[in-house]
Amino acid sequence: MPDTPQEGSTAPAPAWEPPPYADAGRFSEHEVTVGTGRFAVPGTVSVPRGRTPGPGVVLLAGGGPFDRDETSGPNKLLKDLAWGLAARGATVLRFDKATYVHPEVATAPDLTMTQEYVPYAVDAIDLLRRRPSVDSGRVFVLGHSMGGKIAPAVAAAAPAVAGVVIMAGDAQPMHHAAVRVISHLATVMPDQVPATVVDGFRRQADLVDGSELTLTTPASDLPFGLPASYWLELRDYDPVAIAAGLAKPLLILQGGRDYQVTVADDLARWRAGLTNHAKADIRVYGADNHLFFPGTGPSTPAEYGAPQHVDPVVVADIADWLSRCTK
C-alpha cells in the first residue's frame, strides 16, 4: 500500500545526516536523467571511487509520489541504502518517481502500477549497464514496499537483471492490506482513526473486489483515490508468481515489527510461493519496522517521525549478497 510521510507537524524536518556506515569519501555522486520525453525524471548515481567494475543497483521507492531518496519526514530510506551500498563498492542509481515530478501523471485517469514504475526502472537498468564502474552482467533491482512488489515484473521486463532484492514487498492484495492496516491503526490510535474511516476503507475494498468495478468507476470511490485502471491491474497482479518464474537470485527482506507489510500476511505468501526456488534467500529482522529502522514495542506512524537510519545489519547483508551473486 502507499507509503506516506509522517503528518501532523508543520515544523521543518531536521536535516538528514549520513548514517555511520556511509563513508562519503568512498564514492562520488552524479546527476542523470531517467526516461525520455516530457515525463523524464531526474536521478542520482552513486559511484564508488577507485574500484574495478562491480555490481550496479537500481532502487525503487514505495507507493506514492516519492522523491529519489524516498523522503519521509526527516528520513531518507533510499539515500541511506544508496550511500551505504556505494561505500561498499556498488554503483547505485535512484530517481524521482514520475508521480512526484509530474503531478499530471499521478492524476491520470488511466494510471497503472506498471506505467508508474516499469519503463523508468528498465531505462535506469540500461543506464547503469553502460557505466564503466558497473559489471554489465551484475545489475540488480532493489525495491522497497510497492517498489518491492513491482520489482519481479521489472526483472521480467529486463532480462539483463542479475537478481532482485525485495524489502518489505507486499504480497497480500493491496486493497485488503489497506483494510488490515487501517484497522490496526484504529486499535493503536483510536483518537486519530475512528471506526468510520475503517468502514470507508472496507466499502472501497469491496468495490475493488466486485464485478461492478470498471474503468469508469470514479477514483474518489476507490482506495487512496487511485483510478480504476490501477486497481483493475492490481487485482490480477501476483508478484510472488512472477518472482517464482524468475531464474535469478532473490533476496526477500522483512521487518518483524512492520505493521504495513507483515510476516503473517505478506512474507508467508513469499515463503509459500518460493519454496521450490533454488535461489531465494528470505530473511527477517525482528526489531525492524517498515522502513527497516530498529526499535522496540509495537510500531506506529509516529515512529517514522524521528530521525533514524536503515538498520546497518540490513545494509551489510545486502552488500554481502550482491558481492556473492553472479548472473
Catalytic residues: 145, 258, 290
Residue in this structure with the C-alpha cell 537510519, named with its chain if needed: 309
Q: How far is CA 191 from the centre of its chain?
A: 29
> Which run of H or E residues covers position 101?
helix 98-101
Distance CA 319, CA 327 (A): 16
Asked whether the beta carbons of 18 and 79 are under 8 A apart, the reply is no
Return phi, psi of residue 252, to 5°.
Answer: -110, 120
Cell triple for residue 143? 525495491
Residue 273 vs residues 158, 279, 283: alpha-carbon distances, Å: 22, 13, 15
Using the CB atoms, write b or e for 143-157: b if 16+ within 10 Å: bbbbbbbbbbbbbbb
Residue 164 vs residues 5, 48, 67, 121, 248: alpha-carbon distances, Å: 26, 21, 21, 12, 7
